[in-house]
Amino acid sequence: MNKQRKFRELEEVLVAQATSDGDGVQLKRVFGGADLARFDPFLMLDEFGSDKAADYIGGFPPHPHRGFETVTYMLEGQMEHRDHMGNIGRLGPGDVQWMKAGAGVIHSEMPKQEEGLMHGFQLWVNLPAAEKMTPASYNDIDANSIPSYELNGVAIKSIAGELKVDGTKVSGAVTGLSTDPAYLDMSFDSDREVVVDVPDGYTTLVYVYKGSAVIGDSDYQLTKGKIARLSREGELLISASGATRLLLITGKPIGEPIVQRGPFVMNTMDEIHQAIRDYSEGTLV
Ligand code: MN
């Protein structure tokens, strides 16, 4: 008897929802907010994209974070980050900022353009309890230092992690984190398929932001603006339907309680109250 290949399957599909955050920035919340355990170790994914300045010009004035990491990936436009540590970072097309809020950061994220297209993503990655109160850090990753791969009509930018794609080891700019996140931007030039090896047990998310793709041996078209959360075992087969761009995000679940209030993500409500007190008393950072 032939042994059938086992592919990861769709567990859930969510449609990115229009919302606003910061100072009136219009964006799409892909996931985030409630019942986060099933996305563990990920907390949120936002897509911001507009060619109308009014949708982004307010930016994100100074605000705090504690307990997790924020990853900003720009496709188009210019943003400037400033934080309490004195870092100033300019993010342009293809650049990534990987910031560990840890015990506390206060930063701003403001547009550095008054017109034109602004497009990108922000992903929140949780930290295990043992790392939540570690010092904040900040890593600007220039577009040129993000490894890129070209595999049979599929262009890959590997922001983080190490995964095998069609048997080729794809290594990202950021590795060695305890949640072992992989974050790939995959661009398919036409009907193409790839098989990705993702470790058993890992959370696996596919977000299509251009075109359409099918996962595994289902026939469901995951179209632009939809994210799929997949089953935790088997190979990942992605079949693009025409020119398609998508984010593949995988990571090792932490398995601890998640309590979130706004910009603070901790394990208990007591720790949330402490974060709110620390921020109001000026001792968060
Ligand atoms: Mn922020």
Domains of the chain, by residue range, sit at 2-280
Q: Is the pLDDT of residue 90 over 80?
A: yes
Distance (angstroms) between ligand 1 centre and the Cα of 5 equals 42
Distance (angstroms) between ligand 1 centre and the Cα of 177 equals 20
Distance (angstroms) between ligand 1 centre and the Cα of 65 equals 7
Q: pLDDT digit string (tens) for 170-200?
A: 999 999 999 999 999 999 999 999 999 999 9
Distance (angstroms) between ligand 1 centre and the Cα of 44 equals 12
Q: pLDDT digit string (tens) for 135-144?
A: 999 999 999 9
Distance (angstroms) between ligand 1 centre and the Cα of 197 equals 32
Q: pLDDT digit string (tens) for 91-106?
A: 999 999 999 999 999 9
Q: Is the pLDDT of residue 35 over 90?
A: no
Distance (angstroms) between ligand 1 centre and the Cα of 40 equals 20
Distance (angstroms) between ligand 1 centre and the Cα of 164 equals 32
Distance (angstroms) between ligand 1 centre and the Cα of 249 equals 20
Alpha-carbon distance 174 to 164, whole Å? 16
Q: Is the pLDDT of residue 2 over 60?
A: no
Q: What is the pTM of this model?
A: 0.97
Name the strands in the sheet holding 68-76, side by side, starting at the edge strand that comes first in the sequence.
17-21, 25-32, 42-50, 118-126, 68-76, 96-100, 137-141
Distance (angstroms) between ligand 1 centre and the Cα of 212 equals 30
Q: pLDDT digit string (tens) for 146-165?
A: 999 999 899 999 999 999 99
Q: pLDDT digit string (tens) for 229-278?
A: 999 999 999 999 999 999 999 999 999 999 999 999 999 999 999 999 99
Distance (angstroms) between ligand 1 centre and the Cα of 100 equals 11
User: How much is the pLDDT for 1?
Assistant: 45
CATH topology of domain 2-280: Jelly Rolls (2.60.120)
Q: pLDDT digit string (tens) for 107-128?
A: 999 999 999 999 999 999 999 9
From first CA to last CA, the distance across the chain in angstroms is 62
User: How much is the pLDDT for 3?
Assistant: 60
Q: Is the pLDDT of residue 5 over 90?
A: no
Q: Hunting for tokens 């007591």 — which residue is that?
A: 270
